[in-house]
Amino acid sequence: MSAAPVPMAEVFGGSEVSLLEDPYPIYRRLRREHPVCAVQTLTEVAHLVTRHGDVRETLRNDQVFSNRSNARGISLVMGRTVVEMDGAEHLRHRALVTPALAPRALKGDFPRRVEEIAHEIIDGFAGRGRADLVAEFTFSYPLRVFNEILGLPLEDYETIHHKAIELTHIARDPAKGLAASAFLKEYLAPIVKQRRSEEPRDLIGRLVHAEVEGERLSDDDVISFCRLLVIAGAETTYHMMGSVLLGLMSRPEQLDEVLADRSLLQAAMDEALRWESPVQIVTRETTQPTEIAGFALPEAASLIVCVGSANRDESIYADPDRYDLHRDASEHVAFGFGKHYCAGSRLAYLEARIGLNALFDRLPDLRLEPDEKCGVVGMAFRGPDRLPVLFG
């Protein structure tokens, strides 16, 4: 197998990866012919890892495959967070932030308030009989919820949303990404300082008062984690919800099953996470010489771990390109694997379940609008770019 790097754009057919419509035939070929493929990105030589078993191992083993690679990527705008930490440091910080994201910490009025937010948004289009559910619901709902969780003023929602999206543009437009990061730090700093002197009543309050073995998060730690959370709200959860809706409406008989038995919604979400993983790629860096699928890697080799490819690996899933509510999708790695499994996954499931149920309750005879294009785009973050629908 040749180790000579190939330009990233050439591997993906010359496409702009942020607008990539269908990476899956390319992933299929790479899994079969080059399961570790050296590519030349704009800044470095990296290695695409595409098979399910290899992806799981790189996500599991942070002793060999370090998360410190994120310090050169998304952490440039988030600041230092758990996503770039390994080992004992990662465990300490995770122990500080995870309890604040657990559903039990958000019990009481939280689910009711999330449901109210969903219905407030749906009120804007429920009487029309048609809508674009991406532009009018899935894009705005998750960050509206995060605004509530963080205890930020409702009138600041639009500003926070736009800055969160600009954070994700760090690779294409570094100046815009860094400016958004600086804006959010200036905006959040006095809020974090104020929460230090108050009883915890929102997520920021719980984060500033969290303590494990006498250690607390610094103000910068809290601000960085908040920037991580708004990225999750602005990109990840909204793509997940869009893919659930697209998968079910593309197979109306399965949508009917979910409408009749809402307990099937968990399976519908897991299959959507497998079928169109909202985060398609993550990065890692080798800490020592190692080997993946017979490909020798030196110390400090950069890896692009293709979660989206792993979740469509035909050696794990039969007919993997088909959305199937009744598939066992429990082996998906959309939320990661092992110690670095997404700390906010249960919150994402809860939020998506409430929002989807609200849509199903309010929009009878929900269906895709005929003859309207509905595509899924993206590589780093991926989901439907529009969902034109009709309803009763």
Q: Quickly state the pLDDT bin for 141 (edges 50, 70, 90).
A: very high
Q: Can you give the C-alpha Rg of the chain in angstroms?
A: 21
| 1 found inside a domain | no
Q: Is residue 269 part of a domain?
A: yes
Is the residue at 257 inside a domain? Answer: yes
Residue, of 269 and 10, whose pLDDT is higher: 269
Q: Is residue 273 part of a domain?
A: yes
Task: Give the residue-averaged pLDDT of 236-257.
Answer: 96
Residue 12: which of 26, 2, 24 has the closest Cα?
A: 26
Give the position of tokens 């035909």: 314
pLDDT value of residue 174:
87
Q: Is residue 104 part of a domain?
A: yes
Q: What's the whole-number average pLDDT of the chain?
A: 90
Q: Which long-range contacts (CB under 8 A, 24 or more apart) does 166-172 make?
A: 167/74, 167/77, 167/78, 167/227, 167/230, 167/231, 167/234, 168/74, 168/231, 168/234, 168/235, 168/380, 168/381, 170/73, 170/74, 170/76, 170/77, 171/42, 171/73, 171/380, 172/18
Domain boundaries, position 116: 6-390
pLDDT band at 107 (very low <50, low <70, confident <90, very high): low
Is the predicted pLDDT of residue 23 greater than 80, yes or no?
yes
pLDDT of residue 2: 46
- Phi then psi dihedrals of residue 36, to 5 deg: -125, 110
pLDDT: which is higher, 94 or 391: 391
pLDDT > 90: what percent of the chain?
A: 58
What is the predicted pLDDT for the residue at 120?
96
pLDDT at residue 149 greater than cutoff 80: yes
Whole-structure pTM value: 0.92
pLDDT at 103: 64
Per-residue pLDDT tens digits for 73-106? 778 888 888 888 888 888 888 887 877 777 666 6
Predicted local distance difference test score (pLDDT) of residue 254: 98
Please give the pLDDT value at position 15. 60
Q: What is the pLDDT of residue 1?
A: 41
**Strand 45-49 vs strand 302-306: parallel, antiparallel, or unpaired?**
parallel
Q: Are 379 and 17 in contact (CB under 8 A)?
A: yes
CATH code of the domain in which 355 resides:
1.10.630.10
Asked whether residue 252 is domain-assigned, the answer is yes
Q: Where are the beta strands (DSSP E) in 60-192?
A: 65-66, 130-132
Q: How many domains does the chain have?
A: 1
Distances in whole angstroms, Cα of residue 127 to Cα of each of 35, 334, 357: 50, 35, 18
Is 332 part of any domain? yes
What residue spans of 251-341 are helical by DSSP H? 252-260, 265-275, 307-310
**pLDDT at residue 105 in the model:** 63
Instruction: Measure the CA–CA gap between 75 and 80, rounded to whole angstroms.
Output: 6
Residue 344 pLDDT level (bands cut at 50, 70, 90): confident
